[in-house]
Copies of this chain bind each other. A is one copy, B any other.
């Protein structure tokens, strides 16, 4: 299979179940909604070493937010609902409540699982917090802060989502692969329901499950390291000299498929891209499989 003369390998991305919450941050300007979103989703690339996975999903105009202000959807992801609830409380409390002019709304109001995160946060008001039953149609807490009032929705929803959707961009050189990765992230940022949690949306250091050292759960994906060619462990053809990976989390299978499709199509338009592949681990990572040829058919 080829897209724009870039070969799409006949392989699949292996992904795993995760719990996901989705928060809609609004602020006085898009700039300040984004500042809050960046802080709230930082240090959130992989649950291996971060307290959660997190990322910016998309930017929305005031037409698509309860309070009519510009907004940014973010996602926060943990392996269990218990840890997710704790993450939500900390990330909203430390990074959105503290950010200028922001409000935090439930990004999954229809979900079955609903945490009372807003209520828990409201105690910061030290007795002066107030519940409002119908703030633009939402049940919220108004917490007095030194810059005004912070509005946070009483409930925050969560769903069974998927983490680790992915594809590999194989480039003639590092810069071609990098710009293609950026183009892929641009495209995925326009799609609702998914995040690319790594820095700038890109993974420079794709890993394999396990390592030769005890206790290290993941290590560099040696088979795909061009710099290990002389060591005999690299399976890449000679023309490939660098790879970037895009990792995608999403609230359901469809969103991830759509994002993989948009991202791969975008990457294949960049000169110097030779092949697109994906990472899988014989089921050691998880049960979900995304076959590239099926998604791109």
Q: Report Cα–Cα, A211/B62, bound state, in Å.
A: 35
Residues of chain B within 8 A (CB-CB) of A224 are 146
Count copies of this chain in the complex: 4
Q: Which of B147, B177, B220, B245 contacts A128 (CB 8 A)?
A: B220
Complex Cα distance, B38 from A227, in Å, reads 28
Which B residue's beta carbon lies closest to that of A213? Answer: B123
Tell me, in angstroms, the Cα distance from A148 to B269 when the chains sit together: 14
Q: Is the CB of A227 within 8 A of B149?
A: yes
Taking a contact as CB atoms under 8 Å apart, the answer to whether A174 and B244 are in contact is: no
A93 within 8 A of B: yes
A220 to B147, CA, bound (A): 11
The digit string for A277-297, where 1 denotes a CB below 8 A from any CB of B, is 000000000000000000000
- The answer to the question of A67 belonging to the interface, with a C-beta cut-off of 8 Å to chain B, is yes
Q: How far is the CA of A174 from the CA of B183 in the complex (A)?
A: 14
A160 adjacent to chain B (CB < 8 Å): no
Stretch with Cβ within 8 A of B (4 or more), from A9-17, A44-52, A77-85, A108-116:
A44-52
Whether B126 contacts A203 by the Cβ 8 Å rule is: no
Q: Does A32 contact B (CB under 8 A)?
A: yes
Interface string of A260-283 (1 = CB under 8 A from B): 001001100111100000000000
Given known contacts A148-B174, A200-B32, A204-B97, is B242 in contact with A128 (CB within 8 Å)?
Answer: no
A selection of 13 A-B contacts at a CB cut-off of 8 Å is: A38-B42, A40-B43, A98-B203, A100-B199, A124-B216, A124-B218, A126-B222, A144-B228, A145-B204, A148-B271, A172-B172, A175-B176, A175-B178
